[in-house]
Structures are given as structure tokens and as C-alpha cells.
């Protein structure tokens, strides 16, 4: 998979946690107010949105280039994608890192692998077949 496909997979994974919780805050591990945590997750999804622009980028134009610095490998084997996504999540900036990390940690490897396999098996943005 390409860097952009992996970036989209991270977006989909975090968005799936957001949707499962109905957009509600779901963690209290750092003692912060639930509304603040919820806002951090919403802000990440808003900034990372890979579907706002026609090309391969994020809504916040700096976010995808930052992703590429953390995950410099051009082609990522699907079997390595969860570990590479985890590397990116762990390197996120402080202003939404805790909430996004907690959300990502709720995704088990099997769910990730199944989701990536489904996505990669059909036309999608970044595949050249979308």
C-alpha cells in the first residue's frame, strides 16, 4: 500500500472509533474533561480528512507531509501497516495525541487487518483506480 493509502487507513480507523462512540468522548485515563478529549479527536479527524481536496493530501495541508516524514517508506506491505500506523499515532503532536492514541489503541490488529483488506480490495482514493 502507498503512504497515502496508509494515511487514509489511519483516518478511517480513528473515524470508526469516533462513530462507534456516537461522537461522544470515550476515555478518562488522563483525567481531562470528556468534552476536551472529544474536541481533540474531532480536531484530528477534521485536520486529517483526506477527502476534502482532490489530490493526495489532508484538509490541513501540513498533516500529510508530516505523516510522510514519520512514515518515509513509499510502499508499505499490508502486513506492516498496523505497526507503521502505530508509529505515526505515537508521534502525533501533543494537542491531540492523547485522545487519538487512546482511540487507536481500541482497534485490535485483526480489525485493522480486515479493514485494510476490504479497503484495498476495492477502488479507493490513492489507488489510481478511484
DSSP letter (8 states) at residue 121: T
Average pLDDT over residues 38-52: 88
Band of pLDDT at residue 86, cut at 50, 70 and 90: very high
37: which residues sit within 8 A by CB, 6+ positions away?
25, 27, 28, 30, 98, 99, 102
pLDDT at 37: 56
Comparing 95 with 77, the larger pLDDT belongs to 77
Q: Is residue 2 helix, strand or coil?
A: strand
Tell me the per-residue pLDDT of 88-110, one tens digit each, with 9 for 90 and over: 999 998 877 788 898 899 899 99
Q: How far apart are CA 25 and CA 35, in angstroms?
A: 7
pTM of the model: 0.83
Q: Is residue 50 helix, strand or coil?
A: coil
Q: Is the dihedral of CA 7, 26, 91, 53 positive or negative?
A: positive
- Do 66 and 91 touch, CB atoms closer than 8 A? no
Domain borders along the chain are 3-120
Average pLDDT over residues 40-46: 89
Amino acid at each position: 500500500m502507498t503512504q497515502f493509502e496508509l494515511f487514509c487507513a489511519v483516518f478511517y480507523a480513528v473515524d470508526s472509533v469516533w462513530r462507534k462512540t456516537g461522537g461522544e468522548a470515550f476515555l478518562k485515563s488522563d483525567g481531562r474533561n470528556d468534552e476536551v478529549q472529544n474536541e481533540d479527536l474531532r480536531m484530528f479527524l477534521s485536520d486529517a480528512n483526506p477527502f476534502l481536496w482532490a489530490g493526495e493530501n489532508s484538509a490541513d495541508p501540513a498533516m500529510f507531509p508530516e505523516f510522510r516524514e514519520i512514515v518515509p517508506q513509499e510502499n508499505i506491505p499490508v502486513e506492516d501497516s498496523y505497526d507503521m500506523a502505530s508509529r505515526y499515532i505515537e508521534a502525533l503532536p501533543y494537542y491531540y495525541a492523547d485522545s487519538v492514541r487512546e482511540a487507536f489503541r481500541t482497534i485490535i490488529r485483526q480489525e485493522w487487518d480486515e479493514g485494510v483488506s476490504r479497503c484495498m480490495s476495492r477502488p479507493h482514493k490513492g489507488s489510481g483506480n478511484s
